[in-house]
Amino acid sequence: MATTSAHGDNYLNHEKGLWSWLTTVDHKRIGLMYMITVMFFFLIGGIMALLLRLELFAPNAAANVGGVLKNGDVYNQVLTYHGAIMVFMVIVPGIPAILGNFFLPLHIGAKDVAFPKINLASWYCFMAGAALAVLTLFTKKIDTGWTFYTPYSIKTGTATVMMVLGAFIMGMSSILTGLNFIVTVHKLRAPGMTMHRMPLFVWALYSTAILQMLATPVLGITLLLLAAEKLFGVGIFDPALGGDPVLFQHFFWFYSHPAVYIMIIPAMGVVSELITTFSRKVIFGYTAIAYSSLGIAAVSFFVWGHHMFVSGQSETAGILFSFLTMLVGVPTAIKMFNWVATLYRGSVTFDSPMLFALGFLFLFAIGGVTGIMLATLPINVHFHDTYFVVAHFHYVMVGGTLMALMGGFYYWFPKMFGRMFNEFTARMSFIFIFIGFNVTFFPQFILGAMGMPRRYFDYIPAYESLNKISTIGSWLILTGFLFGLYTIVQGIRKGAIAPMNPWRSKTLEWTTSSPPPHENFKVEPIVTAGPYEYR
């Protein structure tokens, strides 16, 4: 087996031309197609985030720098699109559809996912849904927030229907990906690859896929009912006809809380891979990490009411949900413990993927602990809909998922493109993102505790200095991602040819050439040991 095959036959040059990409059923190419589209939407969502922060640079009363978005209506629209794009088009598909698609079959020694055509169909569903959703920008824009809460979403502009249909179709895409992954894990493992020999990233994707299958259909019907409510006034969520808007929230969060774990569990899987590789040590508590992924997935269905503590939900339900939510801390803490225990006495090297993994540990710990604070019913009532909540979920979603996505992306970059990236610029991207992220979002915890409400386009002068710090932080994050973009583009175009296994990892994908050949392995691998045989 050659150490490099950048000029040999590989999945990138197996077929040529745009048409061969648009009709490909190769999971690796579909992964790359997802990568390009997700990066595009991340750019749009990111620009909106920068605009929001720019608006909040100063209170409008002293509008010298602030006030870029003219008025509160525009602010609300930008906020809605930022949320909807980042959730439905970036973070939910992010790790599973890009890294999962690319590496799940490689990890378990399969030639492809179980249903390659359905895999391609899921990308087209994603594109169609995303197009519908983004096209609402050119109609009457929506301003409901990404949660589409009734009754406001029924009363505001008609673009809501188009937007929720877009989200519905993207949900289909998510379901198809999940279905594919479950069957692939069950049926396509190479000889000797038992469930307990699978890399932890596969376990994480498997748990995520279960969530995608079980939760997304409920979002689908909820969004359809919302569209029906809007078009035909069916009255199910409309108090004027005896309907219940809070029931909408129940149905919505039955999906959208598990969706939070659809976003974070794959990130945990990536971090498990990174930490064991760059500690050069067998992962501590393999089974505990594997089953805690399933545990988080299971518990996630019992906790959605913590989004609704002040919605008019009953106190009894609130207390129960508060208690159940704290249970999520148990499997999450098991993971944290095992990662730290893996680092202990490992030969830790600080390559850029590892920096992102360690950044994940730090930021996710803050995000997770503030999550427990928010789960506490009386504290939540005080913090509800303040910047404390905004800071909390950005620490988990950005500090967790995006950090892991970036780390995983650098880690597998040599395998995906057959080239190395510039380590210096990659580290610079980490430094700027990590510092910028804390500068942006840590002040928001304080702002929230001071009582600054979220989703407002203006604030009282008392909040000004912390908001200024936060906005400056957003520019640091921008710088970090520009470094990241440069690293990727420069690496793809001019990077040194990557060896087969630059990080000396032990999982299966590193036993094939970089980039992998068309059907992944020249000879079907036979697995005889666990995934992390370091020492």
Partner 1 sequence: MAHNNNSDLNVLHPHITPMSTYLKVGGALFGLTFLTVIAHQFNAQLGAFAAPVAFLIALVKAVLVLLYFMHLKDDTNMNRVIFGSGFLFLLVLLFFSVLDIVTRVTEVSPL
Partner 2 sequence: MSTDSATHGGVRSAHVSHHFKDATQEYDSGKQGIWLFMVTEILMFGAILVGYGIFHNIYPEMFAEGAKTLDWRMGFINTLVLIFSSFTMAISISFVQKNETKKAAFALATTVLCGAIFMVIKYFEYSHKFHLGLYPGHFLDTAKVGAEHANLGMYFGFYYCMTGLHGIHVLVGMGLIIWLLIRTIRGDFHSQYWLPVEGVGIFWHIVDLIWIFLFPLLYLVG
Q: Which residues bind partner 2 (CB under 8 A)?
A: 25, 110-116, 118, 175, 179-180, 182-183, 186-188, 213-214, 216-218, 220-222, 224-225, 228-229, 232-236, 238, 240-244, 247, 251, 254, 519
Nearer to partner 1, 28 or 257 (CB): 257
Closer residue to partner 2 (CB): 187 or 535: 187
Residue entry with tokens 């990111």 = 46
Binding at 304: pick from partner 1, partner 2, none (beta carbon under 5-8 Å per type):
partner 1
Closer residue to partner 1, CB minimum distance, 209 or 426: 209
Minimum gap (Å) between residue 370 Cβ and partner 1: 24
Residue 112 C-beta: closest distance to partner 2, Å: 4
Interface residues with partner 1 (CB under 8 A) are 186, 214, 218, 244, 246-247, 250-251, 254, 301-302, 304-305, 312-317, 320-321
Q: Give the Å distances, CA to CA, from 413 to 32, 374, 496, 535.
A: 11, 37, 12, 25
Contact (CB, 8 A) for 269 and 201: yes
To partner 2, the closest distance from the beta carbon of 519 in angstroms equals 7
Dist CA 407 CA 201 (whole Å): 13
Q: Is the peptide bond before 239 cis (omega within 30 degrees of 0)?
A: no
- CB closer to partner 1 out of 315 and 345: 315
How far apart CA 486 and CA 355 sit, in angstroms, is 18
Secondary structure (3-state) at 368: helix
314 binds, among partner 2, partner 1, none (CB under 5 to 8 A by kind): partner 1
Q: How far is the CB of 250 from partner 1 (least distance, A)?
A: 5
Least CB distance to partner 2 at residue 526 (A): 13
Give min distance, CB of 194 to partner 2, in A: 16
228 binds, among partner 2, partner 1, none (CB under 5 to 8 A by kind): partner 2
Report phi then psi at 237, rounded to 5.
-105, 10
Q: How far apart are CA 313 and CA 211, in angstroms?
A: 25
Considering the complex, state which of residue 256 and residue 338 has its C-beta at the smaller distance from partner 1: 256
Please provide residue 419's backbone torsions phi and psi, each rounded to the nearest 5 degrees.
-135, 160
Distance between CA 498 and CA 493 in Å, rounded?
A: 13
Residue 236's binding partner among partner 2, partner 1, none (Cβ under 5 to 8 angstroms by kind) is partner 2
Answer whether 524's CB lies under 8 Å from 112's CB.
no
Q: 149 vs 364, which CB is nearer to partner 2? A: 149
440 binds, among partner 2, partner 1, none (CB under 5 to 8 A by kind): none
Q: Are 122 and 173 in contact (CB under 8 A)?
A: yes
Residue 180 interacts with, from partner 1, partner 2, none (CB under 5-8 Å by kind)? partner 2
CB of 237 to partner 1, least distance (A): 13
Give the 3-state DSSP-derived string for 150-214, with helices as H, strands as E and coil as C: CCHHHHCCCHHHHHHHHHHHHHHHHHHHHHHHHHHHHHCCCCCCCHHHCCHHHHHHHHHHHHHHH
Q: Which of 276, 284, 186, 204 is nearest to 510 (CA)?
A: 276
Nearer Cβ to partner 1, position 218 or 498?
218
